[in-house]
């Protein structure tokens, strides 16, 4: 059975504090799931094995370190499932881009196996299980437009007023380690007071990342120039993806074609809110 695993865009990302015990940052972020997908083809087998197959052979890590495998094994162990699964995944969302591809894959695996193994786990409990794998994975259990707070565990679903269109640009040979992005923020900024007004198209990680990765600054500047859309261009998550936010499909298609022609060493995607 085929399952869709969507990417996400951080319309805003504010860092509101840091946990002194574990070093994780507290966030306030508006997140929009979008129509850029990985595909997971999952079938149940009688043997108690999890077989993971990367159809495009894009990921270079050991399969046991893959979040898809970790999610399946966690669920299997927690609920003493005697069956297994063959999981073929087709990777279209670039990793290291700030689009949540790996986290989405893990959440999709939990939801899919809950259905295929007939475990009947509630959404709330799936979110709790997801949080054991990563702080941003619970969001993808529902994959709905939401404000995320704290370390990712507080998810407030927002009423969507419109469908947004996005043109997403990702350099093919530049990946950002999320841990480094937050370290760079800590090096550059001191949190002195709480923000009370949160607007979209603000990303507290963007300046520290652009300061150190000049390629990304050049890409953002070029997007702004070509799209003529300075106020609506921002970085998603910890990068390296940038997006141009568009209010209409027509405008998004025009910008997409322009950026596609001008960014030969980048992935360029057209996507919308889901």
- The residues annotated with a catalytic role in the active site are 8, 136
Q: How many CA atoms lie within 13 A of 128 on its CB side?
A: 6
Hunting for tokens 């504010």 — which residue is that? 14
Q: Is-cis flag, bond preceding 240, omega within 30?
A: yes
Angle at 224 between CA 210 and CA 174, to 5 degrees: 40
Phi, psi of 176 (to 5 degrees): -110, 125
- Helices (H) and strands (E) counted in the chain, each on its own, are 8, 11
Task: Say how far apart CA 91 and CA 5 lie, in whole Å.
Answer: 10
Gyration radius of the chain's alpha carbons: 19
**199 Cβ neighbours under 8 A, 6+ residues apart:** 12
What's the first-to-final CA gap in the chain, in angstroms? 21
**216 Cβ neighbours under 8 A, 6+ residues apart:** 171, 174, 209, 210, 235, 239, 240, 242
Q: Check: CB of residue 133 under 8 Å from CB of residue 71.
A: yes
């Amino acid at each position: 059975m085929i399952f869709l695993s969507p990417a996400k865009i951080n319309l805003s990302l504010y860092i509101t504090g840091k946990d002194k015990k574990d070093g994780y940052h507290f966030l306030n972020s508006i997140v929009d799931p979008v129509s850029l997908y990985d595909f997971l083809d999952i079938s149940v087998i009688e043997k108690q094995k999890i077989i993971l197959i990367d159809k495009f052979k894009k990921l270079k890590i050991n399969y046991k370190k893959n979040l898809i495998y970790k999610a399946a094994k966690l669920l299997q162990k927690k609920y003493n499932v005697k069956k297994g699964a063959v999981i073929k995944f087709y990777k279209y969302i670039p990793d290291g881009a700030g689009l949540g591809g790996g986290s989405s894959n893990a959440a999709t695996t939990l939801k899919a196996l809950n259905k295929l193994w007939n475990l009947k786990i509630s959404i709330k409990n799936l979110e709790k299980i997801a949080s054991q794998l990563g702080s941003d994975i619970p969001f993808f259990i529902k994959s709905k437009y939401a404000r995320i707070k704290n370390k990712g565990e507080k998810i407030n679903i927002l009423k969507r007023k419109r469908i947004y269109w996005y043109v997403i640009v990702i350099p093919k040979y530049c990946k950002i380690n999320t841990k480094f992005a937050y370290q760079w923020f800590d090096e550059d900024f001191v949190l002195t007071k709480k923000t009370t007004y949160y607007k979209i198209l603000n990303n507290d990680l963007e300046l520290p990342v652009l300061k150190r990765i000049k390629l990304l600054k050049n890409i953002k500047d070029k997007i702004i120039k070509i799209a003529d859309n300075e106020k609506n261009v921002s970085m998603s998550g910890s990068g390296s993806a940038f997006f141009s936010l568009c209010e209409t499909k027509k405008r998004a298609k025009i910008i997409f074609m322009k950026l596609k022609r001008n960014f030969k060493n980048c992935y360029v995607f057209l996507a919308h809110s889901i």
